[in-house]
A and B are shown apart, each in its own frame.
Chain A
């Protein structure tokens, strides 16, 4: 590894906040600098702006839950993020698909599906909600309180380009399933 490669790999690790600072006097100096923190802040601001523009529902939900900035930073740090807004947004939404919060999981999957279908995808996407999705969307649009999960009920939604209006949703209850 030559000096140029060592320096560039080191700066990538620093801007992405990926642990140990390389044993190099210049990189050590950068790591301690105010300038690095500022540059990292600007890089994160641009990623957050891309997500905000492309994924308004997920952004509103995460901001309301107080975890937007932390999740964008975690995604930026751990992944090879794209400079293209479409890719960074899709990647960010995909990173939430396994989130422990069922509502975050559903909203991010829904927004990911809508972006994909509008972008020309022929696939069909299934999203399972633990509360009425219209109520969630309305609450996120208006700032009203989010609906509570509905016990023993789920909403099975499909997003696909050949569906009328692109979206279909069926309410399923435990009673109905057990019959």
Chain B
């Protein structure tokens, strides 16, 4: 199932599902092809050990043979100056030991500094030093898991640091040096356009779109004049239109994923989530 997704010429529809809501799973399962697992979101700690919660593993196991699984992390902290987060890799090891994941992915960012969790996600500075560090770690991940590894650009909320690369140029350098794939998040791009005036046309023209394997769609919130990537809403028409443009440019794009936070499910509602999946499939995949 997993390798079929990786090889398929048909684009698949994926959705975030972090467990503990069997009624939601029952409703969304007929509408999607792939489940996106966030190892951090399905993990627990007993104080000394971090592990994937067994009931959630069982939920995913029940989908074996019916739905493909992909893993999308938040806590690897691939860009930390000193070291990445080994606890995250242990979670990923657990998932790989049990499931045939089509690929795994992370954010091009850091959440940990000198071993301390920052409580948020910082975008990487686009410097030669940062590029070297990221590429070396991508290669180690590729050797460790032997399935495709994808990186996702994150929103740039803080003022941009002095840079040696453009946003697209930095992504191109990572993909060309390592062969890793890209996730383009249409909503994140809209945030960067709104918050910092990213030139979207120039970004897409410069980006090597042949590396894009996955498209993320989400709806966020506006706060104090800023667009924030708190994935908690329906996908706006403009985001869908941008997604369609990305698909048009990305011949190897295999999966379109609708993302929402588990905390947003009670607000969104099961029916609205299902309606979004149907809307996305109709607009982008048919």
Contact = CB atoms under 8 A, between A and B. Distances in A.
Contacts of A3: 125, 127, 129
A129 interface: no
Interface string A85-123: 011001000000000000000000000000000011000
Contacts of B118: 11-12, 15-16, 43
B114 A12 contact: yes
B129 A2 contact: yes
B110 interface: yes
A40 B158 CA distance: 11
A120 B129 contact: no
Given A5-B82, A38-B226, A80 B117 contact: yes
A2 B157 contact: no
B72 to A, nearest CB: 16
Contacts of A29: 159
B40 to A, nearest CB: 7
Contacts of B195: 35
Q: How large is the interface on A (under 10, 10 to 19, 20 to 34, 35 or more residues)?
A: 35 or more
Interface in B219-237: 223-224, 226, 228, 230
Given A5-B82, A42-B228, A83-B75, A30 B119 contact: no
Contacts of A35: 157-159, 195, 226
Nearest to B196: A35
Most buried by A among B80, B119, B120: B119
Interface string B77-89: 0001110000000
Nearest to A86: B45
A83 B159 contact: no
Contacts of A49: 263
Nearest to B43: A84
Nearest to B132: A4
A153 interface: no
Contact of B159 (A30, A42, A81, A87): A30
A36 B118 CA distance: 13
B81 A4 contact: yes
Interface in A12-47: 12, 15-16, 26, 29-30, 33-36, 38-40, 42-44, 46-47
Contacts of B47: 86-87, 90, 119
A84 B159 contact: no
Contacts of B40: 83
Contacts of A119: 46-47
A82 interface: yes
Contacts of B226: 35, 38
Given A15-B119, A83-B111, 13 more contacts: A2-B129, A3-B125, A4-B81, A4-B125, A8-B113, A11-B113, A12-B113, A34-B224, A35-B157, A42-B120, A82-B117, A87-B45, A119-B47
Interface of A: 2-5, 7-9, 11-12, 15-16, 26, 29-30, 33-36, 38-40, 42-44, 46-47, 49, 76, 80-84, 86-87, 90, 119-120
14 contacts: A3-B125, A4-B81, A4-B133, A8-B80, A8-B81, A8-B113, A26-B162, A35-B157, A81-B117, A82-B45, A83-B75, A84-B43, A90-B47, A120-B46
